[in-house]
Amino acid sequence: MFRHMPIRAIDFAKPFSGARWFDIVPRSAARPDLSPQVLLHAGPPFRGAPPAPVINAAIQALLFDGQAADAESARDLLVRGVVQLRPAQDYGIATPLAEVVSGSMLLIAVAQQERICYAPIIEGSAPALRFGSAAPECVQRLRDTSAWIETRVAPILRGDPMSIDELIRVAVAAGDDCHARTGAANEAMVSRLRDLDAHSAANLRASPAFVLAVLMAAAMAALRNSLCRIEAIGGNGSDFGIRWRGNPVWRQTPAQPPLGSHRAGLEAVVPLPAIGDSAVIDFCGLGGQALSAAPLLAAELASALPAGALARSRDLIDPNSGIVDPARIVSGAFAPLINLAILDRDGCEGLIGRGMYSPPVSLFDGFSQEVRRHGL
């Protein structure tokens, strides 16, 4: 049995040492090997039809790229297989919730050591592409946001890259878990963007989830730079999956919806099973593993947490890396806690709440066999 580390002994920023947000680039520049007809989604490959929120997001992505004139034409491209849906993490990109990444979308670029990972910029609060919204204003909002992000924010970063571990230390000290609660992290990010004009700074402050993309890209880089045997983890709205290092095939299991609270008036809406690549944040010791540092969030999610969750979740962390250790998951028979937004299964309401998801421990049972099979 692994001993629980007291909160004062935890360095939540440890996995992110040396990580820098240094640029914002279109996907076409980050991954020129990908055809514009390839769209990237969260989690493992689909084993059946994508859920409605992902279809909505794929249609929006095609409209954003100008590959279709209207939603009907975009849907036809999907039905006929003219465009392909592939897992974003297979290409070093982490995408939030239901968002689908197209070739012209802007990506946050984070480097740690020699590795660069990416996540799409967030255009604002609901309705939004990451919530699988079909609202037509989402595309225009992303276009508008992309314009000032590219001209105002990107030049600052190119001249003065931002340290990620500094953001995380400030945020955790203020009670953020850096996943479900990101307000302090976002404010620290804005404050660190020296010489940013007042209008752009106000726009960023009005979107406290913007920093989530920065944290996702950084977490993916940290996970892949660590000795952890898992290099990809997330849900696609139907299945939740992991991918072992060196193995191109995802191991996946049917996903359940996150447990938590629904927004007022949406209690009867059927929730979508777990979705999003933001699980990389929680696997890097933040999010569900950092609830002991975020008491307000822990209290809000208390009804969704198993007994002893706060202590047991810290037992899963490798103290040397600060990252969840799959061997500890199997040994302790306790899966990591993952903070996730809850989306409408039918793609009509978008965001309906937030909660907690824990993948089954059985998903990690193949750890020893994978190590032997692939010489990891």
Return the domain boundaries, the chain. 14-217, 230-374
Residue range 305-316, pLDDT digits in tens: 988 898 899 999
Residue 271 DSSP code: B
Q: Name the nearest CA neighbour of 223 among 122, 326, 339.
A: 326
pLDDT tops 90 at residue 372: no
**Confidence label for 6 from pLDDT (cuts 50, 70 and 90):** very low
Please give the mean pLDDT across all residues of the chain: 94
- Check if the beta carbon of residue 255 is closer than 8 Å to that of residue 314: no
Residue range 91-112, pLDDT digits in tens: 999 999 999 999 999 999 999 9
Q: Name the nearest CA neighbour of 234 among 271, 279, 289.
A: 279
- Predicted local distance difference test score (pLDDT) of residue 8: 45
pLDDT tops 80 at residue 138: yes
Residue range 292-302, pLDDT digits in tens: 999 999 999 99
Class of domain 230-374: alpha beta
Residue range 148-160, pLDDT digits in tens: 999 999 999 999 9
Residue range 155-194, pLDDT digits in tens: 999 999 999 999 999 999 999 999 999 999 999 999 999 9
Residue range 15-67, pLDDT digits in tens: 999 999 999 999 999 999 999 999 999 999 999 999 999 999 999 999 999 99
Residue range 220-271, pLDDT digits in tens: 999 999 999 999 999 999 999 999 999 999 999 999 999 999 999 999 999 9
Question: Percent of the chain scored above 90 by pLDDT?
Answer: 92
Residue range 140-150, pLDDT digits in tens: 999 999 999 99
- Predicted local distance difference test score (pLDDT) of residue 10: 83
Spatial distance between the Cα atoms of 185 and 178, rounded to a whole number of angstroms: 7
Strands (E), the chain: 20-26, 38-41, 84-87, 106-112, 115-120, 162-163, 230-236, 239-244, 251-254, 259-262, 275-276, 338-343, 351-357
Which distant-in-sequence residues (6+ apart) come within 8 Å of 33 by Cβ? Answer: none
**Confidence label for 1 from pLDDT (cuts 50, 70 and 90):** very low
- Section 117-138 average pLDDT: 96
- Section 112-119 average pLDDT: 97
